[in-house]
Amino acid sequence: MTTETLIQEVREKAGVLDNNGEQLLATIVKILQGGEDTSTTQQPSEQIFIGRNITPEEYEALSREEKRRYIADAEKRNKCWVENQFNRLQADWIMVVDGQVVMHGTTLDNYPDDEDFLAFCENTGKFPFAFINPRVFFIEERPTVWHKTNSPYDAYPALTITVSDNTKRFQTEADLDTGAADCYCSSDLLIMNGIIKIKSRNVEYTSEHLSRPFAYFIKPLWLELADPNGISRRWRASIVCVNDWHRSPFTAINRNRTFLLGRRVLLNLRPRLVLDFDNRCTEVRFGEAAS
């Protein structure tokens, strides 16, 4: 008899169970059926989310590795359920408290900033399980022009972009990749320039790209493009801040890369880009009629 079948029988006999009751019952059933540690042997369920949210204070007291496992183990344990929520909500990210999706976004652009996230933790007294949809890292690497790559006679298209928070800013040469939807940058570079700070209650995620693992944080920042006439536009986007950048899969094709600029920012800023393949440079223009 499956866990779901037993839960249904209890529902029929005892009436409606709240989400905490169903989680507790599912855990008890697994223990009684197998006598094993459910954190490592429990099979993913499509119907219920199994896991207890710890308090913000408990999360803060964890080591960095334990914080990663808090998210990664929950995602593995609830793989089918999490995938269903991504599909149901068409979400790039979700946050779960008491087995319910309490926040989500169809793109990373509305991922909560540090202040909003910490306020949510304080208000609920619980640290959410936060999950990022793997499609965020569906990147079509296409080395074609501009920045030199590991391949002879090859280069990568590049744009000068200004990255800022509310007080500090810096410029960097970003590799332009329309095969990527989002933006990816070295967390160390952003920290060094005073753009971001990693706080003890920030969620550190783990994922893979090009079959190589990496760890990262999500930080909303301002990205600005300017043309030769001094016209500039900026867009607030959530950046994937990758740890140990130079050994990450994002520098596999270009060891000198500092920033990978995806198409979503450009779709919102709407520049006109002239790609000069002869001189290997990019010209940015903002049309006079464009708003």
Find where tokens 């006439």 sit: 229
The C-alpha angle 103, 132, 263, rounded to 5 degrees, equals 105
Q: How many residues does the chain have?
A: 291
Residue 26 has pLDDT above 50, yes or no: yes
Query: Whose CA is closest to 89, among 155, 135, 40, 152?
Result: 135
- pLDDT: is 62 or 15 the higher one? 62
Token pair, residue 122, equals 């304080």
CATH number of 147-285: 2.40.70.10
Backbone angles phi, psi at 160, to 5 degrees: -85, 125
pTM: 0.69
Residue 290 has pLDDT above 50, yes or no: no
Kindly report which listed range (32-41, 59-68, 91-100, 164-173) carries the lowest average pLDDT score.
Answer: 32-41
Residue 145: predicted pLDDT: 40
In one-letter notation, the amino acid at residue 44 is P
Per-residue confidence at 132, pLDDT binned at 50, 70, 90? very high
Q: Where in the chain is the domain with CATH 2.40.70.10?
A: 147-285
Residue 52 pairs in a beta bridge with none
Residue 137: predicted pLDDT: 87
**Helix, strand, or coil (residue 23):** helix
The string of pLDDT tens digits covering residues 214-269 is 999 999 999 999 988 889 999 999 999 999 999 999 998 888 899 999 999 999 99
Under 8 Å between Cβ of 170 and 162 = yes
